[in-house]
Amino acid sequence: MKTRNKNVLLGSTSTALVAAVFGSAAPANVGLGLGRHESSRIILMRMLRVMFPHPSFSDAPYERCAKALIADARQTPGQKIAFAAALDNLADEGFADLGDDAALTYLRGIEKTGFFQLVRAKAVVTLYDDEEVWQALGYEGASFDQGGYIDRGFNDLDWLPEPRIEEYDGQEGAQP
């Protein structure tokens, strides 16, 4: 197999660029797996729980979201290296063992990084598009295929007070 110098240069440049954007230089062995640490998935789940705290959610939606993030990170070598390096940084900082307040403070410190932005963008869609999450939040799902909201209990929210409705009696200047 013949390698062109142009491709090697582009690959090296893109890897360096991705590492710079994500704020970390990747160790040489990161490309072999998703990170040096076996606990990458657990650290990512912890990050998701801190970012999107819902005590009533089981671990399953967070785990599915973490797996989707990891699958996305494996799409290109540059993404894989940068994502793994960011997870390794979290592991090296002991993120999984931080208390909730300390973990939130740590995440606020990295919220402008590409890694954090990527996790937030993917997680907000993936986590809240999970049917188990819908059940926990009381969302009944899409209604188009069931006739729309008007025909299936548009006003079935039992946690809101009944609206106050006053009829206009037709007198000018009168306010209801």
Q: How far apart are CA 62 and CA 72, in angstroms?
A: 15
Q: What is the pLDDT of residue 162?
A: 75
* Section 26-53 average pLDDT: 70
What does the alpha-carbon distance between residue 107 and residue 113 come to, in Å, rounded to a whole number?
10
Task: Please identify which residue in the block is written with the tokens 């912890």.
Answer: 46
**How high is the pLDDT of residue 165?**
76
Spatial contact of 66 and 118, defined as CB atoms under 8 Å apart: no
Residue 100 has pLDDT above 80, yes or no: yes
**pLDDT: is 51 or 35 the higher one?**
51
pLDDT score recorded for residue 142: 77
State the residue for tokens 């970390």.
24
The three-class DSSP label of residue 18 is: helix
pLDDT tier, 51 (very low <50, low <70, confident <90, very high otherwise):
very high
